[in-house]
Amino acid sequence: MDDSFTVQISSGLINRLVGDEKKAKKKPKKLKPSKPLQNSVTHGGWSVRPPIVTPAPSAVNGELESIKSILEESKMTVEKLKKQEDDMVRELTERAKELHEKEFKLPYQKPMPCTDAVNDCKKCYEENAENPLKCSDVVNKLVHCAREARSK
């Protein structure tokens, strides 16, 4: 890793560290602050650049591989969810059709009993409108048929 930064040390500090107090009492020269370096911090005449941290290539490759594996897992999960959704939609559609057929399907209806006798009565009354008593035999057949239908 490249940990490069800049530190400026004054001569007064050096003298204090060495133990030369006579020179240390002397006022240190004011240094003109140099142009601060890019991304550097200046404090009390000191210019310090933070270290440039670059991850190791193996760490980058490891992170990249883990991201790729997570991405693949996500894609597979999305595919599974889509398939599950399609199955559920299909099943729901089938059940809706079944319910619709059951709800709107007419139950078996028995044919109306004595339809022939009713038709014969109508025909007789149309033909004998002036003398309806001639249809008494046909009416009796209709009554007999109706009684049988009710008893069933």
Where does residue 3 fall: left (phi above 0), alpha (psi -120 to 50 degrees), or beta otherwise?
A: beta
Q: Is the pLDDT of residue 112 over 50?
A: yes
Distance CA 83, CA 100 (A): 26
From the number of C-beta atoms within 10 Å of its C-beta (0-12, 13-18, 19+), residue 30 rates as exposed
Q: Give strand pairing partners of 135.
A: none
Note the pLDDT of residue 14: 76
pLDDT of residue 24: 45
Indicate whether 122 pLDDT > 90. Answer: yes
Average pLDDT of span 87-101? 92
Domain residue spans of the chain: 11-48, 55-109, 115-151
Mean pLDDT of the chain: 79
Per-residue pLDDT of 9-35, as tens digits, reads 777 777 777 775 554 455 556 655 555
